[in-house]
A and B are shown apart, each in its own frame.
Chain A
Amino acid sequence: MRRPLALLSLLALTNTACPGTVDPPTDQFALDPVPAGQGFQYVTRETEVPQGVEQQDCYFFKAGDIAAANGMPANEPINLHRIQISQRDGSHHMNIYRVRTIVGLDPANGEFQPASNGSGPCFNSANWADWPLLANTQQDGTIDWTYPEGVANVIQPDEWLMLQSHFVNASTQKTPQNYGRVWVNFWAIPKEQVKHELGTIFATKQSIRVCTKNPTPVFDGTCNLNNKNPVQIIGANGHFHSRGKQFRIYAWDGMSLERPPEDQRFYTSDVWDDPPMTRSPELDRTLPAGSGIWYTCNYEWTPPPIGCAALDAFDKEKYSTPDRLLDCCYTFGPQVDQNEHCNAFIYYYPKQDDVNCF
């Protein structure tokens, strides 16, 4: 059966509020649409985020369909050269991935696949383990990033994308308007202007635990680029939750066992809830051939807002941790009040491959 893909995609552009809810507020965060023929805009639904709720929604769309609907050449790649992202306050993160192996998240299950409070496939990172990163932000408000001249992130017209939007209205983070929404403008350049393709690196530390008896753990990881020629790093940001104290990313030679020296550090974040997005033109770091990145997350345990009993219950249920090892631990996961991450997002060119380090 032929799926009305264009219709599904266009539905994403409509201003549809959930039935029976309060009228949405006026949008100071809304972006003007991209003019016809220059790219396209994607807008998420108005998603309600009541007090005490973490809402993480996955949206699926085919970029080519939306682009063609906005006057872009049909069946041709979209050469993304500038990205604007605007989010209501309360956004914890917004990531866009290229859909690849289908595990538990499937575009066939609908354009809009919501999830709340840690439950649902949109919360399970194993579902997008081999989905390359396209774009991300963790900052409130608007970012507007134009890549260096001739650099484009090439999206194929038949490529499915997933936009994942996480809003939090809990103890450590609030959604003051009780409704989340994201606007993304994709600005393209003609193929004749493309000199370098943009690539991405997404790296995540497995099995994070921050416990009372190991309250200041440090996690280090590496990610190789396998690049035969030098590349330029032009964007970076790191992600953890409120136990995170410092996130550092370094240029790494791909061979040493020691954390690189400080003159190789190109990204630092000391804030978890509005981490900086370091990007070009300020960031333009050369990585030699055969190198990669080294990233480090420092944590400090703090008493959980939801209480140790809740943390232990989650630890037991999710990770089958026996009673004798329960230690009021924050474990790996997506929920801000009870889980932690150590995720690095890197943008570079020329593309060797999109890289995921799990």
Chain B
Amino acid sequence: MKSVPVVLLSLCLVMSCDPDGGNPTPDAGTRQDAGTNQDSGIPDSGIPDSGTTEDAGIPDSGTTEDAGIPDSGTAPDAGTTEDAGTPPPDAGTTPDAGTTPDAGTIPNTPCGVPYLGDPNGALDFKIKALGPDWTSYPLTTGSTLTVIEPIQGGRVSFVGVYDVINIDPCGVSILGALKNPETGRLTLDSRTANLQRGPDGRGSNIDLDDASFSNVTLCPNQWSNKDIYDQEYDLIVILKDRLEKKVLQKTIKVRPACNVPGEDAYCRCICKAGYVLGSPCP
């Protein structure tokens, strides 16, 4: 696959190829065209989504996120440059952005955020999660995954995406799942969200909008036969565009952790294997 100077391509898209003139500010008060949304309320026919079967026919360079390529450890949000100073990723992990589209082929988007990249290019993204201080950090194989108490109770991990390229950012479906690799049992959350676009033309969830992250339900632990914390799990992320024409799934090994200061004891109690609902916890 030919390597593409992604930074240059991104600049092209921002400066001249974006019909909205690169203005990411949403039009206050406009209502999204209901007819272009992913799900207008018509019941799902029940046909499995093409490409959502794990790693089957999905245009993905592999299922391991950033294997062997450590990032700088910065917590990305819209506007920051990811991995400044790290060597460029090899051809196997950089999606081919395809031919440079002319202005007429970049589709309009209904949510005020311009298209991310090239509609003919392969979808790609990286994975991140909110940390103990509710700011996001990149996730790679072996990362710690923070277990957080959300405002409604219980414990979740907020799993999101960044460096998203070649997708309509409006009404994407983001699914996060934590899977016990020994038993195959998993817990998941899927939701529709709008990605935000950074100056580099790539998309991401914004930390302040935790509702746009997948809120992966973890505890009370009544689903896994081992502790949630300090054990190895598979984290699966599936990103789909609203028309379900672009789908990408990635899987990395993670170790969830009860690492929010002051909450670790209670977290370890309700996230322990064999927890019985309502048992006393410190």
Interface string of A159-176 (1 = CB under 8 A from B): 000000000000000000
Q: Which residues of B contact A (CB under 8 A)?
A: 26, 29-32, 34, 37-41, 43-46, 48-49, 52-54, 110-112, 150-156, 170-171, 173, 175, 177, 179, 184-194, 206, 208-212, 215, 217, 219-220, 222-223, 225, 236, 238, 249, 270, 276-278, 280-281
Nearest residue, chain B, Cβ from A297? B191
Taking a contact as CB atoms closer than 8 A, the residue among A208, A260, A262, A325 that contacts B45 in the complex is A262
Residue picked from B173, B188, B215, B222, most chain A C-beta under 10 Å:
B222
Distance of A215 Cα from B193 Cα, bound (Å): 10
| Residue A2 CB within 8 A of the other chain | no
Contacts of B220 in A (CB 8 A): 130, 355-358
A216 near B46 (CB under 8 angstroms)? no
Distance of A358 Cα from B222 Cα, bound (Å): 11
Contacts of B223 in A (CB 8 A): 223-224, 226, 254, 292
Contacts of B193 in A (CB 8 A): 214, 217
Given the known inter-chain contacts A213-B32, A213-B111, A222-B217, please indicate yes or no for A254 contacting B185, CB distance below 8 A: yes
**Count the A-B residue pairs with Cβ separation under 8 angstroms: how many?**
199
Taking a contact as CB atoms closer than 8 A, the residue among A205, A220, A246 that contacts B43 in the complex is A246
Contacts of B46 in A (CB 8 A): 259-263, 265
A258 near B53 (CB under 8 angstroms)? yes
A355 near B277 (CB under 8 angstroms)? yes
Distance of A97 Cα from B277 Cα, bound (Å): 12
**Interface size in chain A (residues, C-beta < 8 A):** 65
Nearest residue, chain A, Cβ from B26? A213
Contacts of A358 in B (CB 8 A): 150, 152-156, 217, 219-220
B-side binding surface: helix, strand, loop or mixed? Answer: loop
Distance of A321 Cα from B210 Cα, bound (Å): 10
| Residue A278 CB within 8 A of the other chain | no
Residue picked from B225, B238, B277, most chain A C-beta under 10 Å:
B277
Contacts of A355 in B (CB 8 A): 220, 222, 277
Distance of A129 Cα from B266 Cα, bound (Å): 13
B171 near A216 (CB under 8 angstroms)? yes
Nearest residue, chain B, Cβ from A319? B151
Distance of A128 Cα from B220 Cα, bound (Å): 13
Distance of A206 Cα from B34 Cα, bound (Å): 24
| Residue A119 CB within 8 A of the other chain | no
Contacts of B32 in A (CB 8 A): 212-216
Nearest residue, chain B, Cβ from A131? B278
Interface string of A175-209 (1 = CB under 8 A from B): 00000000000000000000000000000111111
| Residue A101 CB within 8 A of the other chain | yes
B185 near A214 (CB under 8 angstroms)? no
